[in-house]
Structures are given as C-alpha cells and as structure tokens.
Amino acid sequence: MRRGINLGNRLDALPARPVPDAWFDLVRDAGFDTVRLPVRWSAHAAATAPYTLDGPFAAAVDGAVDGALRRGLTTIVDVHHYDAIQTAPGAHADRLVGLWAGIAARYADRSPALWLEPLNEPHGALDTPQWNALLRRALAAIRAADPDRTVLIGPAPMNDIHALPRLELPADAHVRATVHYYAPLRFTHQGAPWVDGADRWHDVGWGGDGRDGDADRAAVTADLERLAAHGAVFVGEFGTYERADLASRVRWTAHVRGELDRLGLDWCYWDFATDFGVYDPAAGAWREPLRKALLP
C-alpha cells in the first residue's frame, strides 16, 4: 500500500519554484512513502523539435527527483498544466511525444522508484479517442529510452473515475491506470476560482452537521468500490479546497483514505502545502486534523 502526497504549486507554478529539500524529510518522517511532483515541462522546453528541455529548469526537477529518491520515496514525475494541448491537441501532440523522449532519456538511469506519468488530466479538445491514440505514442517514446519503468496513465477527461472504462492502455507489464477523486465536486471545490460555477457553491458540508452523513459516506464508498473492481488503480489526487469547513474536510479525507486503504488502492493526496494542503508552510506546521485523517 502506498501513501503519497503531491508537492503542488512548485515545479508546476509560473514562475516555477524549486521544491524545498527539507520537505522530503518532512513528508517521509510523517509516514508518507510516495511523492508526486507536478511539473510544467511545456513552459520550459523549445517549441520546435527536438523540444530541448530548458537546462536550469530541468536541473531543478533533477534536484527534486534526486532529493526524493535519496529519502527512499517512490517519486512520480508528470507533465502538468500543459494547457495548450487541451485546446489544440493536433498542434501539440508531436511536442508531448518529443518532451517524453527527452524526459525519459534524462531519467533512464534513475532507480525503479521513479515513475513517470505522461499527462495530468487530459480534457477539453483532447477527447477520449485522441488521448487513447496519443498516450500510445507518448508511452512508445518513453519505452524507446526506458523499457521497464513504471508509467501511470489516466483517462480523459480529467482522470475521472467514471471515464476509466474508456481508457485504452497498451499491453505493458509496467503501465498502471491512475485516476483523481474529488467527488462530490461541489463540496471539494466550493469557491474554487478555476472551476466553472464553483462561486455559487458555498457552505456545502459533508458527512455530518445536519447532513445525512451515512448517505454521504455510502456514495463515496460506492464510487471507490466500483473503482477497485478495475484492479490496482493508482489514485493520484484526492483532496479538498480550503474553502470547505475543516470538520467536513477532515471527515471526507478520513473516509476516502480509509476506504482506499480497505480496498487496497494506493493513493496520493492533493496536496502538501497549497490551498488544499495538509501542511501550513507559513506556520511551519502540519494541519493536524488533516494529517491524522491521512496517517492515523
């Protein structure tokens, strides 16, 4: 069972910010065994073939990868926030494949504890048929440099659990499906400025305080049991935006995490230190109720 955490809004931010090395000790000492590093490679590589990676940026990613591996953490590197491929997949497909040729070659000598993930949350114009075709090409580029590395691939749109049956994974012993879980969205993303309509969602509780907590929990359990029927799917993100009340956030987090553990599904919380975070970087302290919900 893997218990992971995303280190978001660093290498995926604009401008990018390095991941503080001390964070790897913090998360490992807390009991996490896995970190996911969201990386906005698309903003730090040439626009034309061979899509050369920007040297100083790639060195910052190397620093995070090696800092995490040195702590014995399973470490996931993705392509995150490649917004242009979601609006114009035809114009960007070759570039995604080329980026992966470069990234996979760069990390081919790292330990098997480094995993790769071709694209976070394909969506928009990058629909299911196009993604199913493109993921094969991205995987082939990785395989040309690195035949046995674990590769996580999630469905379009948005790595949604309900889209999983339409994900077409190539036969490859080292490929695993990944999904993100944020249901119900009007609870987990209430007030989130990047979600259409979320400004109308407020004071949405979960799991108690005047709600039918059993019904809330049963809905999540049903989702996750359906998910587990697909086998060893990796839950690469789940979490709640800070706008929801803390008691509900803690109940949701504890229930989702508990069900994933019960069902034997590896997970990776979103995230460490952003507005979803289980850690408050300004205070230099864990948000204890959330931490305990993840690592009781």
Residues 41-100 binding ligand BGC (CB under 6 A) are: 80
To which H or E segment does residue 139 belong? helix 128-145
Q: Which is nearer to ligand BGC, 146 or 237 (CB)?
A: 237
Match 């259409």 to its residue by tokens.
196
By CB under 6 A, name the one of 120, 178, 248, 253 that touches ligand BGC: 120
Residues 219-238 binding ligand BGC (CB under 6 A) are: 237
Shortest distance (Å) from residue 236 CB to ligand BGC: 9
Nearest to 276 by CA among 1, 87, 9: 9
Q: Which is nearer to ligand BGC, 41 or 143 (CB)?
A: 41
Shortest distance (Å) from residue 79 CB to ligand BGC: 11
The C-alpha atoms of residue 171 and residue 169 are separated, in whole angstroms, by: 6
The pattern of x and - marking residues 236 through 255 that bind ligand BGC according to CB under 6 A reads: -x------------------
Residues comprising the chain, all counted: 296
Buried b (16+ CB within 10 A) or exposed e, 44-75: bbeeeeebebeeebbebbeebbbbbbebebbb
SS3 content of the chain, % helix, strand, coil (to 5): 40, 15, 45
Q: Which is nearer to ligand BGC, 80 or 143 (CB)?
A: 80
By CB under 6 A, name the one of 100, 201, 270, 279 that touches ligand BGC: 270
Q: Which is nearer to ligand BGC, 7 or 73 (CB)?
A: 7
Residues 138-157 binding ligand BGC (CB under 6 A) are: none
Q: Which is nearer to ligand BGC, 80 or 291 (CB)?
A: 80
Instruction: Tokens for 173, please give them.
Output: 């012993």
Shortest distance (Å) from residue 266 CB to ligand BGC: 17
What does the longest C-alpha to C-alpha distance in the chain come to?
Answer: 58
Contact 36, 9 (CB under 8 A): no
By CB under 6 A, name the one of 117, 121, 259, 266 that touches ligand BGC: 121
| Residues that contact ligand BGC, how many (by CB under 6 A) | 8
Q: Which is nearer to ligand BGC, 8 or 98 (CB)?
A: 8
Nearest to 151 by CA among 123, 186, 183, 176: 176
Shortest distance (Å) from residue 181 CB to ligand BGC: 11
> Which phi-psi region, left, alpha or beta, contains residue 249 (left: φ > 0; alpha: ψ -120 to 50)?
alpha
Shortest distance (Å) from residue 38 CB to ligand BGC: 6
Q: Which is nearer to ligand BGC, 38 or 157 (CB)?
A: 38
What pairing do the DSSP bridges indicate for beta strands 34-37 and 3-6? parallel
What pairing do the DSSP bridges indicate for beta strands 279-280 and 74-78? unpaired
Shortest distance (Å) from residue 289 CB to ligand BGC: 20
Shortest distance (Å) from residue 13 CB to ligand BGC: 9
Q: Which residues pair with 237 in a beta bridge?
A: 180
Q: Which is nearer to ligand BGC, 145 or 185 (CB)?
A: 185
**Amino acid making up residue 187:** F
Contact 271, 279 (CB under 8 A): no
Shortest distance (Å) from residue 194 CB to ligand BGC: 7
Binding site for ligand BGC (CB under 6 A): 8, 38, 80, 120-121, 237, 270, 276
